[in-house]
Each structure stands twice: as structure tokens, then as C-alpha cells.
């Protein structure tokens, strides 16, 4: 997405949880983003520190805290010198930001808020179109002793501190800059609740939909999403259309007048930006199947098959 919009003259930035690869080629500033601050991994790095080692949340990551291991053969198992947070600019090598401790992990979301708002102000001042992606880490897996919500869960506290309030700040700033009616804001979840073997105190559980993260049930793949665009999208609507996050690619490209910059290939008919054509094509399909991790759910008409599996 960032590559397509950059080629159409957009300024692009990414802040937060990348989790799309930890090799140089996969870093966001090598995937079209002009400015980045990101964690290459997920929230598990929040326990890879002395606090996590002391609580047995991880075992062996901090060898300086442990007695000598008489059975150790070499130093090739543990990731010595690993990096928790990286910042970078397009065309330049990324560099480590801060350290690998818990305090650094907890700094990433607040710092991402500051940089996102500053990026918006900077580009609005010069009337340059922009695309900024903020994917929050939301919470560490080590609880903060200071609670801010009645449930006191990692999820509720993290959402309240690092997502909900920030969305309001973004909307307020867009109005203050006079660009709200020319800016589309999309917020959405990535997957259902981590209901199977979550970290203690996470606060995620199955709700009205059966299943959770990793399941092909509604609880695993059906998530909330919101789109806000004053003057274009009528407020307080509830839309029942089925969409996927990949639909944002062609939607953003069309809005930016950048569809000509979408890479094409001989089988590009399978990736058309014509949503109506895609809808007609799938409406005719008698069955739909997805195969991942040995589980193969499928659908025929109004019936769906979900392979049963044990939860260990």
C-alpha cells in the first residue's frame, strides 16, 4: 500500500507493531514507508527481559541471571544481540531505538502517538497528501501495577490508554487543521480475541461469537471495523457488508488516483480492483475453502464445515 501511494505523491509513515518479518528487506521503510518506528515482533518481546526471566515467563533469555549450564555446547541457540524497536527512513538502514527492556516496550505506543500527530501536522502544513499507519502494540504481557479500568485486564487497560484516547486526538487534530473532510480514518481489529491459552490477566475471552484467534469460526475472523470521513460517510451507520482488510488496498488506491501504480502480472485478473465484478464471481462459486495449518474449513451454500481440533 505504501509503495503504491508513494508513487502517487503521498507521504507515508508507519508506527507501532510491524510483525511482518525481521529481515532487512521486510522492514516498513523498505516497503514504501518514508518514516518508521516499529517493533519487528509481537508483544512477546515485552517478557524477554529481567522481569520476565525472574517470573519464569521466559526461560534462559537472560543468562546473566542464571547459574552456569554444564550441558551448554555453544552460543547458537539464544538470540544474542536481538533488537526490540527499530526506526528508519526510506532508502536508509534502520537503527535500534532505545533498549530491549520493558520500559522501552511501553514507550513505543506513546512515542508512536506523538510521531503520528506530528507527521499529520507536517504534511497538512505543506498541503501534501499523506498515509499514516499506526498498529498499536496496545499492551505488554507483563501487567502494569497501576490499573486504569474497572476490569483491570491487560486488554482493557491497553485499549483505553493506547487506542481509544488516541483516536479521539487524531479526529480533533484533523478538525483543527481543517482537513477532516478530506481525510479517511479507518480503525479495525486484526483478529478475534486470544481466547486459547492467553497470558494471565489478558482479559480476552469468547464473546457473542464462537471461537477466537487462530480459529476459522466467526469469533476468530469477524472483527469490528470503523470508517470515519466527515461529509462523505454518513455518521452512525451500521453496515453489514462482508469485507477483508485486503479490500483497503484497492479502496485506498482508487481514492488516491493511484490504481495505475498497482503492479500487474499475467494472472492479475484474479486481483481486480472492480469490487462488483469480484462479488459477482464469488456469488456464482458453489463452494469456498481455505487451507491453513492442516485445518480446512469450507462452505456450500448456507452450510459451513469446520474441522474439530483439540485445544491444548
CB 212 within 8 A of CB 193: yes
Model pLDDT, residue 53: 94
Model pLDDT, residue 284: 42
Q: Which residue has the higher pLDDT, 134 or 310?
A: 134
Model pLDDT, residue 278: 42
Collapsed DSSP state (helix, strand, coil) of residue 24: helix
Structural domains for the chain:
2-64+82-189+224-263+288-305 (3.40.720.10)
**What is the Cα–Cα distance from 191 to 158, expressed in whole angstroms?**
16
Model pLDDT, residue 288: 42
SS (H, E, C) 125-183: HCCCCEEEEEECCCCCCCCCCCCCCCCCCHHHHHHHHHHHHHHHHHHHHHHHCCCHHHC
Q: Which residue has the higher pLDDT, 146 or 88?
A: 88
What's the mean pLDDT when you consider all of the chain? 86
pLDDT confidence tier of residue 291, bands split at 50, 70 and 90: very low
Q: Which of 149, 112, 139 is nearest to 33 (CA)?
A: 112
Q: The cell 508513494 sits on which residue?
A: 6
Residue-wise pLDDT tens digits, 238-276: 988 888 888 999 999 999 999 999 887 644 434 444 444
Model pLDDT, residue 179: 98
Model pLDDT, residue 289: 42
pLDDT at 302 over 60: yes
Model pLDDT, residue 60: 85
Model pLDDT, residue 304: 66
Continuous segment of H or E residues that includes residue 226: strand 225-228
pLDDT at 279 over 50: no
The vertex-160 CA angle with 56 and 44, nearest 5°, equals: 25
Model pLDDT, residue 198: 87
CB atoms within 10 A of CB 10: 21
CB atoms within 10 A of CB 183: 20
Q: Quick one: average pLDDT of 185-197?
A: 91
* Cell representation of residue 273: 480492483
pLDDT at 42 over 60: yes
CB atoms within 10 A of CB 23: 8
Residue-wise pLDDT tens digits, 82-140: 999 999 999 999 999 999 999 999 999 999 999 999 999 999 999 999 999 999 999 99
Model pLDDT, residue 280: 41
Model pLDDT, residue 276: 44
Distances in whole angstroms, Cα of residue 268 to Cα of each of 7, 29, 243, 271? 20, 26, 20, 5
Name the burial class of residue 74, with classes exposed (0-12), middle (13-18) and buried (19+) by CB atoms within 10 angstroms of its CB: exposed
pLDDT confidence tier of residue 306, bands split at 50, 70 and 90: low
pTM of the full predicted structure?
0.84
Q: What is the largest CA-CA distance in the chain?
A: 69
**What is the Cα–Cα distance from 162 to 109, expressed in whole angstroms?**
6
Distances in whole angstroms, Cα of residue 59 to Cα of each of 55, 65, 306? 9, 10, 36
Model pLDDT, residue 277: 41
pLDDT at 307 over 70: no
Amino acid at each position: 500500500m505504501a509503495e503504491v501511494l508513494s508513487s502517487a505523491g503521498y507521504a507515508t509513515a508507519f508506527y507501532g507493531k510491524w510483525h511482518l518479518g525481521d529481515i532487512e528487506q521486510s522492514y516498513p521503510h523498505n516497503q514504501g514507508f518514508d518514516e518508521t518506528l516499529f517493533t519487528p515482533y509481537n508483544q512477546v518481546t515485552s517478557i524477554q527481559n529481567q522481569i520476565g526471566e525472574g517470573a519464569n515467563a521466559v526461560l534462559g533469555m537472560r543468562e546473566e541471571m542464571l547459574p552456569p549450564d554444564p550441558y551448554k555446547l555453544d552460543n547458537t541457540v539464544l538470540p544474542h544481540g536481538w533488537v526490540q524497536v527499530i526506526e528508519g527512513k526510506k532508502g536508509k538502514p534502520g537503527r535500534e531505538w532505545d533498549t530491549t527492556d520493558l520500559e522501552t516496550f511501553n514507550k513505543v505506543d506513546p512515542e508512536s502517538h506523538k510521531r503520528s500527530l506530528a507527521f499529520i501536522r507536517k504534511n497538512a502544513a505543506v498541503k501534501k497528501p499523506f498515509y499514516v499507519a499506526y498498529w498499536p502494540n496496545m499492551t505488554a504481557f507483563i501487567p502494569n501495577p497501576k490499573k486504569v479500568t474497572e476490569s483491570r485486564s491487560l486488554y482493557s487497560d491497553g485499549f483505553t490508554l493506547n487506542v481509544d484516547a488516541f483516536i479521539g486526538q487524531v479526529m480533533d487534530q484533523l478538525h483543527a487543521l481543517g482537513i477532516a473532510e478530506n481525510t479517511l480514518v479507518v480503525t479495525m481489529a486484526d483478529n478475534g480475541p486470544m481466547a486459547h491459552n492467553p497470558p494471565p490477566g489478558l482479559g480476552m475471552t469468547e464473546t457473542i461469537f464462537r471461537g477466537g484467534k487462530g480459529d476459522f469460526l466467526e469469533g476468530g475472523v469477524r472483527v469490528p471495523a470503523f470508517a470515519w470521513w466527515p461529509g462523505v460517510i454518513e455518521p452512525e451507520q451500521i453496515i453489514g457488508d462482508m469485507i477483508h482488510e485486503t479490500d483497503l488496498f484497492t479502496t485506498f488506491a482508487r481514492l488516491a488516483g493511484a490504481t495505475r501504480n498497482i503492479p500487474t502480472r499475467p494472472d492479475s485478473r484474479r486481483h481486480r480492483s472492480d469490487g462488483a465484478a469480484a462479488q459477482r464471481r464469488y456469488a456464482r462459486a458453489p463452494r469456498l475453502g481455505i487451507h491453513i495449518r492442516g485445518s480446512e474449513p469450507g462452505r456450500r451454500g448456507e452450510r459451513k464445515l469446520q474441522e474439530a481440533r483439540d485445544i491444548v
